[in-house]
Amino acid sequence: MKITILKERQTNEKRVAATPDAVKRFIAAGAKVTLEKNAGLAAGWLDESYKEVGAAIAATPATALKAAEILLCVNAPENIEELPEGILLIGTLNPYANKEKLEKIASKNISAFALELLPRISRAQSMDILSSQANLAGYRAVIEAVSVGAKVVPMMMTAAGTVAPSKVLVLGAGVAGLQAIATAKRLGGVVSAFDVRPVVREQVQSLGAKFIEVPVDKNEAAETTGGYAKEMSEEYKRLQSELIATTAKTQDIIISTALIPGRPAPRLISTEMVESMKQGSIIVDMAAASGGNCELTKLDEVIEHKGVIIVGYSNLPSRCAGDSSSLYARNLFNFISTLMIKDGAITVQWEDELIKGTLLTHEGKIVHPQFLSTSSAA
């Protein structure tokens, strides 16, 4: 069994799909592991640290891929045509944005697994790449806000006077939002949070934040069966906009995390809202890669609009690449070792619901129900 890890080539990507610890675990499970030269360097791991645990280092991608059976990735590879036919490709494949790549992957007879599609069930928690990366992204969002701002977060009482604590509003109380709340509270901020799902109120309050909400019609579901926030009615959106507009005026920092899987990010912060905010206040738009929650967000830029700073980084986990890579690599190891390896050989449990839920392409076709319409062969 041969596992390969290539250097990530996406702009602003510093993470790596396997750390030395993960490689050690794979080798103990009976695998041979090869990494492209400097694959882990941006995340803080030298080639020597991989060699010490038994991995081989290849000078080029082609050499690393020679005889590969499993390719692990953080992002879908750009060089699909160079991948060996029939391999297993496992990672974050972003199929909603990479529909053309799916056809190419299928044409190479590659069995591709997008782990962001894992069913949200208890036994998948140790494999949940979305949660592990969102946790770090939520933490990093607050750090980015603090780093570009001119105001401290905690209350400070000095002989020269008292500095009031920063007011922080978090839009969206999923994994990233809850971590942003926890981080802002640890730093001493006065935190409020908004979410369309009333069910998260207790989680928000347990972290010491105030939960603000629009009353939801009992007949209008606020989340999908998978636990994600869903798009709400036009009347709800109007009330939501009014609530956010009123609250934003008093905030020093806004962290926006709202996403709807497979859809553009909901627009929550208008230009008018931004212009109503205090001079020096900050917005960190964690949905920048999906179009942004803020109307003025510019992808991968930090801009200023009438005294308000707007941060639009698309890859916050990469900005703490060491820890995010460690968690990501453990997620991949747990998925592979549980569902694909038996007695040191590849034995995929094709009927398992976790395999079925993540399998995008197999035997020359796109097979995932959500993406069948993209395949002429389906």
Token pair of 118 as six digits: 């894992």
With beta carbons less than 8 A apart as the criterion, state whether 21 and 49 touch: no
Rounded-to-integer distance, Cα 312 and Cα 297, Å: 6
Active site residue 131: yes
Active site residue 300: no
Catalytic residue among 25, 50, 128, 290: 128
With beta carbons less than 8 A apart as the criterion, state whether 195 and 268 touch: no
Rounded-to-integer distance, Cα 223 and Cα 200, Å: 11
How many C-beta atoms surround the C-beta of residue 208 within 10 A? 14
Helix (H) or strand (E) holding 108, with range, is none
- 265: CB partners within 8 A, 6+ apart: 258, 259, 287, 290, 291, 292, 293
How many C-beta atoms surround the C-beta of residue 270 within 10 A? 16
Catalytic residue among 21, 96, 201, 228: 228
Catalytic residue among 47, 96, 107, 120: 120
- Dihedral sign, Cα of residue 337, residue 339, residue 340, residue 342: positive
Catalytic residue among 111, 131, 166, 240: 131
Among candidates 101, 104, 81, 103, which has minimal Cα distance to 92?
101
Active site residue 125: yes
Q: Side-chain half-sphere of 171: how many Cα atoms within 13 Å?
A: 28
With beta carbons less than 8 A apart as the criterion, state whether 334 and 127 touch: yes
Active site residue 263: no
Active site residue 128: yes
Angle at 222 between CA 216 and CA 223, to 5 degrees: 165
Give catalytic residue positions: 120, 125, 128, 131, 228
